Structure 1
Amino acid sequence: MTILVTGATGTVGRHVVRHLLDHGRRVRALTRHPARAALPAGVEVAEGDLTSAAGLEAAFDGVTAAHLITFGGDYRPLDNGPRIVELAERAGVRRVTVLGGWREGTLEPALRASRLEWTFLQPVQFMANALTDWAGPLRATGRVREPYGDRKSPPIDEHDIGAVAATVLTRDGHAGRSYHLTGPEVLTARAMVAILAEATGRDLRFDELTPDQVRREWVAEGRRPDLSLFRAFSEVDGAGQADLVEMLLRLYGTPNELATTVTGDVERVTGRPPRTFAQWAADHAHHFQP
């Protein structure tokens, strides 16, 4: 059977593709830019975009399962969920995994009301966010300058998210479930930088900013950091720089039990424990070298 992977060249999607190939499955990858898609040999590439129905009918043709994402390239939730579900059902798709974003859009309720066997994957902080957020400043200065260094999260390796998706797509028993995917341990931002220091052999530090320093540097002085959360929050209509900063400060500074609780969902689905941040850091240490 052919399995469609949307977001196939993204942080998680490329791992879903690799795990499905390891399962011996035929994979079709949906991408907006086929010519630039660096995908493994044997993967069928289909041009298309989930935000537009154009091309999706052909992408779903002959597909029995699909990995879907709930947002477009601008991180906004999809507004055409019912149309996507209609095309999938018409094509004979039976099973889907859904990688959720920051907030629910139109795809999730459309799936709940459909005949499809859906499974929602709701990961916490990606370990790969450390690349997006910290690789640049750590290479340049050896310092991360952010607020709330003791904020906590059980970050998950995107490799494990891909493994969960591939398992759900190829095995029975997961329909109608939502999995809260975490890594094996709760870490502070400060501790993650210390782990990166050990992995790289460099003197890396977390310099904590006060909320007022953040407002001054990131708003008044316009020195906006390249943080993944800024890109995610930019989906909020009409949000300016000051609004984004306040949303980030509230998120970082407000304890959230759900977002800081380790679950066993990765091991329950895949049969093995999730990878640690130390393992991830060792694999990616070269990205943090000057």
Structure 2
Amino acid sequence: MTILITGATGTVGRHLVQQLTEAGHEVRALTRDPATAELPAGVEVVAGDLTDPATLPLAFDGVTAVHLITFGGSDGAPLTTGAELVRLASRAGVRRVTVLGGWEESTVEPALRASDLGWTSLEPVEFMSGALEWVGSVREHGAVRLMAGWASAVVHEADIAAVARVALTEDGHAGMTYPITGPQALTPAERARLLGTAAGRHIGFEQLTEEQERERLRAYGYPEEYVEFGIQLATQPPEQAAVVHPTVERVTGRAARTFAQWAQEHADAFRGA
């Protein structure tokens, strides 16, 4: 069976391609630029753009399972081509689909609900890799600087991929919605301490005022709409943010990776900051 991975060069996609390849599955990786994909040997890398279904028929040809992301393009906007993507999957005879959801539904989820495809919704709360956005702050201030101080059950990207891998290769997951978290809820201050331990240096935490948070978000070049969303998120955390779910262990049979493990894997980024 050939498994198509969309978003193959992304944070979760790379882990998923690696895990499936190591397990001996035939993997087809979709990317807008195959020349820069840098994926493992043996992976079939094909060009295509989820925002342009006309580029995709060959990518779907002959696949039996598909991992879908719900955004496309460099701006991360929700896909508007969900109906076309689902039609391509149905015509190809796809039997299993996983969908990596975002904050809000795109056109992909309603199209799947209206189809006869067996699909699994993956719903991680917050990626551990979001901490990489703190590198600049650590470099300049020796601290993580944020307005939000609430705890989040952040999840390792490899664990999201591991749940997807099982759902794409084993029966019994169609129709399931999987909330995916790490094994504990940690505040930014707690994560900063763990990063400092891994990097062998002190990394503090400074809680910003609302205006300082606006300045921080604007410095990334985010539009005002996103800045306001960030302020809302900092002051009104999602109810599910700190809830730990046993999904990773229940689906994969292995305990979820800790943030301390993630910090060790990325210590060099903070050691040199």
TM-score (norm 2): 0.95
CA apart distance, 1:24: 1.1
CA contact (8 A) 2:181 2:244 kept: yes
Aligned to 1:139: 139
Counterpart AA for 1:54: A
- Mapped to 2, the partners of 1:255 and 1:140 lie a distance apart of 27
CA contact (8 A) 1:267 1:273 kept: yes
CA apart distance, 1:19: 1.1
Aligned to 1:87: 88
CA apart distance, 1:179: 0.3
Q: What SS class does the counterpart of residue 187 from structure 1 fall into?
A: coil
Q: What SS class does the counterpart of residue 233 from structure 2 fall into?
A: helix
Is 1:39–2:33 an aligned residue pair?
no
Aligned to 1:234: none
1:197-276 aligned within 5 A: 197-215=196-214, 217-218=215-216, 224-226=218-220, 240-241=223-224, 243-276=225-258
Deviations 1:10-45 (A, max 9, x none): 000001101111221000000000000110000001
Aligned to 1:19: 19
Aligned to 2:127: 126
Aligned to 1:64: 64
- Mapped to 1, the partners of 2:97 and 2:135 lie a distance apart of 34
CA apart distance, 1:248: 1.2
Q: What SS class does the counterpart of residue 218 from structure 2 fall into?
A: coil
Counterpart AA for 1:267: E
CA contact (8 A) 1:139 1:289 kept: no
Counterpart AA for 2:79: L
Is 1:114–2:115 an aligned residue pair?
yes
Percent identity for Structure 1 against Structure 2: 56
Q: What SS class does the counterpart of residue 52 from structure 2 fall into?
A: coil
Is there any run of 5+ residues in structure 2 with no aligned partner, and where? none
CA apart distance, 1:254: 1.4
Aligned to 1:102: 103
Q: What SS class does the counterpart of residue 72 from structure 2 fall into?
A: coil
Counterpart AA for 1:8: A
Question: Cα RMSD over matched residues?
Answer: 1.5
CA apart distance, 1:151: 1.2
Is there any run of 5+ residues in structure 1 with no aligned partner, and where? 231-239
- Mapped to 1, the partners of 2:234 and 2:255 lie a distance apart of 27
CA contact (8 A) 1:126 1:158 kept: yes
Is 1:182–2:181 an aligned residue pair?
yes
Counterpart AA for 1:226: Y
CA contact (8 A) 1:151 1:253 kept: no
CA contact (8 A) 2:28 2:45 kept: yes
Counterpart AA for 1:61: D
- Mapped to 1, the partners of 2:226 and 2:235 lie a distance apart of 14
Number of equivalent positions: 271
CA apart distance, 1:265: 0.8
Aligned to 1:282: 264
Aligned to 1:163: 162
Aligned to 2:4: 4
